[in-house]
Chains A and B, each alone.
Chain A
């Protein structure tokens, strides 16, 4: 099996994550889609590290994880705040900027 198959898997996961962001309305699910995309890139990083024989890729994946953790904290806090004031977790209800 070619190692590049991992990259194909990463691409598919990334696309599914993006589709989730576009199609789902529950903010938490959308957020999970974002996480899925991040994870897909991590897989690509790890695979590339293996291809090039350089652990820097893994280090970058590590950083991605850390940043994703921070992002999750802030993002979920925002979702909770919005839920408190609007009693809804749908991203479509947060459209006050329109027109």
Chain B
């Protein structure tokens, strides 16, 4: 039995792409790129499964591999550090040559075996999957292989437990109670820390981003209201710049249309009324990252 023309077309389109993607795994500098390549290969495989009269496996392939396994991989990559590019210089003497040689040799041997072997004329699954593919699979799986399936279930549970146990971090110190945290907070006052949570970032008429400091009661910006990381990176915006920007907006005509502009008849004193109105800490009870850091 030979494959139909459509299937052949599918194969010849997909197979080179999959090989290319697999080579991408081998050569990509960044692990994320490699993972994406692998995902492409797996989706390709799923399509090929469907083409090979195994729609159930195709679905499972997508669900399990691309859906679960590869997501897990990406997750771990994020955890480990997505930026870490793999250095491609070889450190083990002779390992590169051995790897290339063995990889090519393996390919040659396997292809040689496939080419040399005589296969019986393909039967096709039309008969075996008389009802549907999932039904046929289920008959075998829950009939001949029911014990194996139970055991595999146990294996999965064990693996889940193993994952828990392996990644479990043992607490080395006593978990601090609220009383301890409060005492630490009070003790921190002498070191110039604040008893209360730090002020939230500023909220302006058109701007409430994290990088904008709030203004204190005295009209001065509060540096602490911007997260420390942004401050260290130098990414915080100046409060005066924001104010100036809003000033220009207030000057615009379209504001006049809604009756707040200077041409609304009233002699408005924009500066007097003060855009500062909404400024200042909103008194939100939410802790920002820094306060957490201080307690530690």
Do chains A and B stick together as partners?
yes
Q: CA of A13 to CA of B25 in the docked complex: distance in angstroms?
A: 11
Seen from chain A, the residues whose Cβ lies within 8 Å of a Cβ on chain B are 1-9, 11-20, 22-26, 28-29, 31-33, 35-36, 39, 42-43, 46-47, 49-56, 58-59, 61-63, 65-74, 76-81, 83-84, 89, 92
Tally of A-B Cβ pairs under 8 angstroms = 240
Task: From B57, B72, B92, give the contact of A58 (CB < 8 A).
Answer: B57
Task: From A29, A50, A52, A53, give the contact of B52 (CB < 8 A).
Answer: A50
Residues of B within 8 A of A81 (CB): 166-167
Residues of A within 8 A of B145 (CB): 59, 63
Q: Which 6 A-B pairs have the closest CB atoms?
A: A53-B123, A19-B103, A22-B99, A70-B159, A15-B107, A11-B110
CB-based contact B26/A24 at 8 Å: yes
Q: Can you identify 11 A-B contacts, CB atoms within 8 angstroms? A: A12-B107, A14-B106, A15-B107, A24-B86, A25-B87, A28-B73, A29-B31, A50-B53, A51-B123, A71-B159, A72-B73
Q: CA of A60 to CA of B38 in the docked complex: distance in angstroms?
A: 22
Segment of B60-68, B183-191, B216-224, B227-235 engaged in the interface with chain A: B60-68
B91 at interface, CB cutoff 8 A: yes
Check A6/B41 contact, CB under 8 A, given A53-B123, A81-B166: no
CB-based contact A23/B96 at 8 Å: yes
B210 at interface, CB cutoff 8 A: no
Task: Give chain A nearest CB distance to B149 CB in angstroms.
Answer: 8
Task: Give chain B nearest CB distance to A41 CB in angstroms.
Answer: 11
Q: CA of A65 to CA of B163 in the docked complex: distance in angstroms?
A: 18
